[in-house]
Amino acid sequence: AANSSGIGTKYDFMVVSNRLPVDRCPSGGGGDDGDGWRRSPGGLVTALAPMMTKTDGAWVGWHGAPDETVEPFSHGGMDLVPVQLSTEDIELYYEGFSNATLWPLYHDVIAPPEFHRTWWDAYRRVNRRFADAVASHADRNATVWVQDYQLQLVPRMLREVRPDLRIGFFNHIPFPPPEIFAQLPWRQAIIDGLLGADLVGFQRASDAGNFMRSARRFLGASVKQQQVHVKGGDGQITHIARAQSFPISIDVRHITELASKPEIIERARQIRQDLGNPKTILLGVDRLDYTKGIRHRLKAYEELLNEGKLTVGDATLIQVASPSRERVEQYRLLREEVEGTVGHINGTYDTIESTAVRYLHHSYPVEEMVALYLAADVMLVTALRDGMNLVAKEYVTARTQNDGALVLSEFAGAADQLKQALLMNPHDIDGLKDTIMRAVNMSPRDAARRMRAMRKQILEHDVDHWSADFLQALNEKVIRDDS
Ligand code: G6P
């Protein structure tokens, strides 16, 4: 990477996301490089880190602490440009507009979105701050890749001050149909913000379609095929924005390696033993979020216990719910509901030696996650709406023996790639119960056939392919389609 002194350095490749791909680590906690930071887990940083270090690249984002100014620094060969957020910014821009307006709106209004003008003002102000940080650090004709719904205004803001840049945007969450997007009081500004990009990427083809329909309906944009001809104030076409799907994936090599390590295989055996070696372990792994369908999953499981189709001792459900957005009200309510339900199920069905639900409100390192994947016979992904759901892809990747069954919601983006999963509609509790029982009773032969096909799909499309495909499309010369 370019020299890391920060000031005066210009970069020819910049990634922008709400959070920087590093976390603070407690001093002496291990895993750091002695500088108090460690790289965040996850596929996105794995995919982009090599480009950061090979080219003159930098990552722009929030460093995670309120009211703190951190100077640009370098970690693990990546140059990082921190953006500051005040306590008020966090409340209005992050917890408010990003996670109590956009998040529920974009996930099918599972929870009611709230619309507040003060939140919108903060969203604009903070997006401007991110755009300014990029504008002052980007070299001439640099490529900039903006990530996710927290930063939808950045492409337009950036193009206004730096028309020389090549600007890409990727939305990691769903894009809602225009009938729902219509509720947003600032719907025009959001579409206009995104159309500042040369390429707008989505998880599913249906998300890209929704976006283009909204561009037509709310901005009167002329959309042909996947291209939007974006006009400036004088009515002249300034550029062509393309909208396309690029389904994200995971670091396949890393997960496969971990799944083959003797100590992780041993840990999986230990987990089963600690649970009393039940015949069937079912597993759910989610951020504690109302989009994940955790309540639907618990309801189906409880009914199966109640009907005697599953019995405690023979079956155990491990539910990992990692803490998330704990200051946002809907997340607090959800936690209370889930924990009340788990307490009710366990109180009713537990025995002295066995539990119905092993509920864990923690996040775990990837090594422990892979051990859990190896320990689980049935993986339950019951999201009511999910951009992709990488847990589904990680589970399949970890099952190197081609056994185990994946129950997967049609409403997760992953359903477009994992067609051999047991696909279901989580709102249909009877259907969900039947699907769980099919998974529990699946023959090894059927399981192997499905797992093999799904593993092949993921092995051929890991996260490196995703980023390479997007960046290649971003840098393509666009032929104007006037047909
Ligand atoms: C989703 C979003 C990401 C976000 C992550 C964790 O995956 O698409 O942009 O970073 O959730 O949420 P948080 O609010 O903690 O960043």
ipTM of the complex: 0.97
Residue 267 backbone dihedrals phi, psi, to 5 degrees: -65, -40
Q: Ligand 1: which atom is nearest the Cα of residue 98?
A: 14
CA distance 424 to 381: 10
Confidence at residue 53, expressed as pLDDT on a 0 to 100 scale: 80
Q: Which of 40, 148, 248 to probe ligand 1 with, by most ligand atoms within 8 A of CB?
A: 148
Active-site residue, selected from the candidate residues 172, 229, 239, 465: 172
Choose between 281 and 3: higher pLDDT.
281
The pairing of strands 378-381 and 22-24 is: unpaired
Q: Active-site residue 172, yes or no?
A: yes
Residue 155 backbone dihedrals phi, psi, to 5 degrees: -55, -50
Q: Ligand 1: which atom is nearest the Cα of residue 387?
A: 8
Distance 234 CA to ligand 1 centre (A): 38
Question: Which residues does a 6 A CB cutoff place in the pocket of ligand 1?
Answer: 19, 148, 172-173, 324-325
User: Each residue of 456-471: pLDDT tens digit?
Assistant: 999 999 999 999 999 9
Dig out the tokens for 265 from the structure. 């295989």
Confidence at residue 211, expressed as pLDDT on a 0 to 100 scale: 98
Q: How many CA atoms within 13 Å lie on the side-chain side of 275?
A: 27
Q: Active-site residue 192, yes or no?
A: no
**pLDDT bucket at 345, cuts 50 / 70 / 90:** very high
User: Each residue of 311-342: pLDDT tens digit?
Assistant: 999 999 999 999 999 999 999 999 999 999 99
Distance 287 CA to ligand 1 centre (A): 9
Confidence at residue 2, expressed as pLDDT on a 0 to 100 scale: 47
DSSP string, 159-200: HHH-TTSEEEEE--S----HHHHTT-TTHHHHHHHHTTSSEE
Active-site residue, selected from the candidate residues 386, 461, 462, 464: 386
Distance 25 CA to ligand 1 centre (A): 19
CA distance 482 to 8: 42
Distance 2 CA to ligand 1 centre (A): 28
Distance 176 CA to ligand 1 centre (A): 17
Q: Ligand 1: which atom is nearest the Cα of residue 148?
A: 9
